[in-house]
Amino acid sequence: MKPLALVLFAALFAVGGYSLAQQKVPMDRKGATGAVKLEQVISGYLTDVNGKYKLRVTESNYEPGGYIGEHHHVGPGIRYLAAGEWTTVADGKATIRKAGDYWYSSGDKTGSSSNKGKSLVRIINFEILPADWKGGSAILPK
């Protein structure tokens, strides 16, 4: 197995056991909208993951005062803050992100986030999900 494929496969292993998570569960969220922009089942040279996972890009918008309560994500991903200022709290530590910032989220850490600013927050999420994941949201309550 190629080293890159091995690392990707190890990161993806954490998304196993998700079947119950696909059920609709109430989420503590306010002032939020979102949409899946692109979704593609993985195929190509990384044959160990082909057909098992998909890449998904979603756009999430939070009005001033908007937030999402304690949650985690189905799979790992890279986040990009396209507009606004976004405060995340994880492990008791607050981090303020500004437009243009990128960060990695493993998905398995519980955290909360909020828009404490006066302008719209727009986040672009690039996530790895199980190929058969259904539904728009890959965010799960704590």
**Is residue 90 classed exposed, middle or buried when 0-12, 13-18 and 19+ CB atoms within 10 A define those classes?**
middle
- Higher pLDDT residue, 11 or 126? 126
Domain boundaries, the chain: 3-17+28-134
This prediction's pTM: 0.79
pLDDT band at 4 (very low <50, low <70, confident <90, very high): very low
Report the mean per-residue pLDDT for the chain: 84
Over the stretch 32-49, which tens digit does the pLDDT of each residue have? 999 999 999 999 999 999
Helix, strand or coil, per DSSP, at residue 76? coil
The CATH topology of domain 3-17+28-134 is: Jelly Rolls (2.60.120)
The answer to whether 79 and 124 are in contact (CB under 8 A) is: yes
